[in-house]
Amino acid sequence: MEAIAVDPDLYARDSAYSPDDWQSETTSIGSSIYRGLIDNGRRYQSLSDKEYLIPSDEQQFETYEAGHLVDLILDSDRENPLFRSPIGADREKVLQILDIGTGKGTWAIDVADMFPNATVRGVDLFPPPVTWMPPNCVIEVDDILEEWTWREKFDLIHMRNMLGSFDQREWDRVYQQCFDKMAPGGWIEQVEAGPFVSSDDGSLPADSNLAHWGPLMEVCGARAGRPCDIVMTMGDSIKKAGFVDVHEKVYKWPLGPWPRDQKFKEAGMVNIQHWMSGIEGWCMWLLTKYGEPEPWTKDQVHVFCAKMRTELKNPHYHTYHKTRRVWARKPFPGEVPLEAIKPRSTKSAGGGSSSGSAKVKF
């Protein structure tokens, strides 16, 4: 992938990008409206017996909003930055859309606003604190690993940032239920982030906590039975479930306002807040239960997160991590998959490349 050019004027300018502005941390005070399970000062869902590694509390909902915004910024040159599956051109068609693990429901709400003829369902283990919803958006509290009871067949099923939610057997079950409950010709679309932080110009020291973060999450996630490599495996798993016409696009998500290009600069500004508010929730459960080389204390996690935040604010580190978007179609009855009759093309109609899921770490 092409390197993102660094802004040479970043530190010279007295601008909105001054460290005083973008380095401030996001803090939130949790509300006790929803009960859930409190552990190490964070609130976790309690609907399913299986523990979900990331909290469902105000701080994490703030994190989801920021992540959603980065996604929108990086696709802001598209008419529809919310998904790439080629549905919705016919605005008269009534669409059935499902967002699995909807979090705060922001994606589902935005899609419902953009497609008033669609019914958009967002499902999650925890009820999101939303006060207003478009009439064509429904948020449901349920465990997606249970048998699905929706009667409608979906035209689009979306998932984002579900990393660490399931083991491979559970993932296969989720994709199979997606396939079975999809209308013929319907699309599945998934966006996942890789945990590895890097820099193209060697500005991130190999012994930094940021460089250590990806390998740590990988080891502890595997130990917990929640592999953090879904970004690498989802393309193949989606194909295995029977989907065809598989496309993918890889994005670089900058950390900080260091890029020269305005779109990447804005994405980097928001992404740094995304990480500032997110890291503690991303790692507290994993490290206190399955930490390397042994479970960490809550205080050790706090110290580690504080060091990570300090490094995130270092304007000399030109860091980023990658995300991958995969979208694929359920074949029509009797359809012979294109892949079976002609060599795989590297071009795609949807603006991404056909998924070959290159085996590079990210």
Ligand X SMILES: C[S@@+](CC[C@H](N)C(=O)[O-])C[C@H]1O[C@@H](n2cnc3c(N)ncnc32)[C@H](O)[C@@H]1O
Q: Per rule CB under 6 A, is residue 43 in the interface with ligand X? A: no
List, in sequence order, every residue forming a beta bridge with 249; answer none if it has no partner: 325
How far, rounded to the nearest angstrom, does the alpha carbon of residue 198 sit from its chain's CA centroid?
18
The residue within the footprint of ligand X, chosen from 88, 103, 194, 221 (CB under 6 A), is 103
Nearer to ligand X (CB atom), residue 6 or residue 47: 47
Residue in the structure block whose two tokens are 């502005």? 21
Query: 135 — phi, psi (to 5°)?
Result: -65, -20
Q: Per rule CB under 6 A, is residue 323 in the interface with ligand X? A: no
CA 227, CA 259: separation in Å to the nearest integer?
31
The residue within the footprint of ligand X, chosen from 43, 68, 226, 325 (CB under 6 A), is 68
Q: Per rule CB under 6 A, is residue 264 in the interface with ligand X? A: no
CA 280, CA 59: separation in Å to the nearest integer?
10
The residue within the footprint of ligand X, chosen from 54, 74, 112, 228 (CB under 6 A), is 54
Segment near ligand X (CB under 6 A); pick from 5-13, 52-60, 79-87, 209-217: 52-60
List, in sequence order, every residue forming a beta bridge with 193; answer none if it has no partner: 323
Q: Per rule CB under 6 A, is residue 64 in the interface with ligand X? A: yes
Query: Per residue in 2-31, is it b (16+ CB within 10 Å) or e — as a string?
Result: eebebbeebeeeeeebeeeebbeeeeeebe
Identity (one letter) of the amino acid at 359?
A: K
What tokens were used for 152?
């409608």
Longest dimension (CA), the chain: 63
Nearer to ligand X (CB atom), residue 67 or residue 352: 67
Q: Per rule CB under 6 A, is residue 275 in the interface with ligand X? A: no
Q: Per rule CB under 6 A, is residue 61 in the interface with ligand X? A: no
The residue within the footprint of ligand X, chosen from 85, 119, 165, 177 (CB under 6 A), is 165
Min separation Cβ 314 and ligand X, Å: 26
The residue within the footprint of ligand X, chosen from 4, 10, 43, 67 (CB under 6 A), is 67
Residue in the structure block whose two tokens are 């689009």? 156
Helix (H) or strand (E) holding 155: strand 154-160
The residue within the footprint of ligand X, chosen from 160, 322, 324, 329 (CB under 6 A), is 160
The residue within the footprint of ligand X, chosen from 7, 10, 43, 52 (CB under 6 A), is 52
CA 322, CA 314: separation in Å to the nearest integer?
19
What tokens were used for 285?
């459960």
Min separation Cβ 70 and ligand X, Å: 10
Site string for ligand X, 137-156 (x = CB under 6 A): ------xxx-----------
What tokens were used for 267?
């994405």
Nearer to ligand X (CB atom), residue 10 or residue 286: 286
The residue within the footprint of ligand X, chosen from 4, 36, 45, 311 (CB under 6 A), is 45
Asked whether the beta carbons of 204 and 182 are under 8 A apart, the reply is: no
Size, binding site for ligand X by CB under 6 A: 22
Min separation Cβ 168 and ligand X, Å: 15
Asked whether the beta carbons of 258 and 7 are under 8 A apart, the reply is: yes
Q: Per rule CB under 6 A, is residue 273 in the interface with ligand X? A: no
What tokens were used for 49?
């017996």
The residue within the footprint of ligand X, chosen from 102, 199, 271, 273 (CB under 6 A), is 102
CA 185, CA 15: separation in Å to the nearest integer?
49
Q: Per rule CB under 6 A, is residue 101 in the interface with ligand X? A: yes
Binding interface with ligand X (CB under 6 A): 45, 48, 52, 54, 56, 64, 67-68, 101-103, 123-126, 143-145, 160-162, 165
